[in-house]
Homo-oligomer: A and B are copies of this chain.
Amino acid sequence: MAGIVECVPNVSEGRRADAIDRMAAAIGGVQGVRLLDRTSDVDHNRSVFTFAGPPEAVESAAHALVDAAAREIDMRAHRGEHPRLGAVDVVPFVPLAGTSMEDCVGIAHRFGRAVAERHGLPVYFYARAASRPERVRLPDIRKPQYEGLQELMATTHAPDAGPPRVHPTLGALVTGARPPLIAFNIELDTTDVKLAKRIAKEIRESSGGLPAVQALGFGLTDPPRAQVSMNLLDASVTSLARVWREVEERARAAGVGLLRGELIGLMPLDAALQVADDALRLGGLPRDRIIEAHFIE
């Protein structure tokens, strides 16, 4: 299979730097895979790895991570503020250039079944790979947490793969497929945090705004400035250009301009091309119009 897949696993270890390093090395040691980011949170006692590469390499690296986590993490001893079911808590596969959501659903299902078999672990499929509606959202699956999972094993939490027994050290694992997530902030030319909060409320999906958009209003301190902070959960549904315009319109109605945008982390090629397409009114800027895109893997 050609093309690129991204994988963003969350593991239940955010404190022991040496253990986190060994898990990162297990991922980065797979030929063809690039570890693009790693972030650890001490309070959550949790780390997030972002890596990408050709589909087969990414799937191998996800297995290598589970093997490493099996050596490093014992869920019986894990404490942290963030809800979790297991040592490798969630493993989302994300389609990028040249791969489809169907490809990633296939990878998640195959990876989940193989992990269940290899480690004797209960596995759940979520998001686009979910087997039923109540398993689409991660918080719903994760609700009982590691400590309360065993007693729901025969009822609401029968696993999609693997035995109906929580693994003592690894717990359970959730895997699935989802679109790329883009973290994007806009700074307003004002210190009026109330305006930022109002705009955020108006544009976020949860209060009836734009689909696949999460948004919060914040006050930045240095320099003092109001910010709308967003996650775009599916840029093919609501694009960066669209949220920029929607924020701009509402700010302008209050007599306020936009100062700058801020991209957190990386973004997929298609999201950037969408913005260029919109700005130049090209009526479409597919990847094959970009010379270098012909040379992605």
Contacts and interface: CB of A to CB of B under 8 A. Distances in A.
A240 interface: yes
Given A53-B295, A263-B285, A275-B280, 16 more contacts: A52-B292, A52-B294, A96-B292, A240-B276, A258-B281, A260-B283, A261-B282, A262-B282, A263-B289, A266-B289, A266-B290, A272-B272, A275-B276, A276-B279, A278-B279, A295-B296
B295 A52 contact: yes
Given A261-B280, A261-B282, A294 B244 contact: no
Nearest to A53: B295
A157 interface: no
Given A261-B281, A282-B260, A282-B261, A291 B266 contact: yes
30 contacts: A4-B292, A6-B291, A52-B292, A52-B295, A96-B292, A180-B291, A184-B280, A240-B280, A241-B279, A260-B281, A260-B282, A260-B283, A261-B281, A263-B280, A263-B282, A263-B285, A267-B290, A267-B291, A268-B291, A268-B292, A269-B290, A269-B292, A272-B272, A272-B285, A272-B290, A275-B275, A278-B279, A292-B296, A295-B296, A295-B297
Main secondary structure of the interface of A (DSSP, over half): mixed
A241 B278 CA distance: 11
A162 to B, nearest CB: 31
Interface of A: 4, 6, 34, 36, 52-53, 96-97, 180, 184, 240-241, 244, 258-263, 266-269, 272-273, 275-276, 278-283, 285, 288-297
A180 B291 CA distance: 10
- Sorted from nearest, which 6 A-B pairs have the closest CB atoms? A261-B280, A275-B276, A279-B279, A260-B281, A97-B292, A269-B292
Contacts of A278: 279
A258 B280 CA distance: 10
B240 A295 contact: no
Contacts of A276: 240, 272-273, 275-276, 279
Contacts of A281: 258-261
A99 to B, nearest CB: 10
A267 B295 contact: no
Given A279-B244, A294-B52, A289 B260 contact: no
Nearest to A6: B291
A123 to B, nearest CB: 26
A267 B97 CA distance: 17
A35 to B, nearest CB: 10
A289 B267 contact: yes
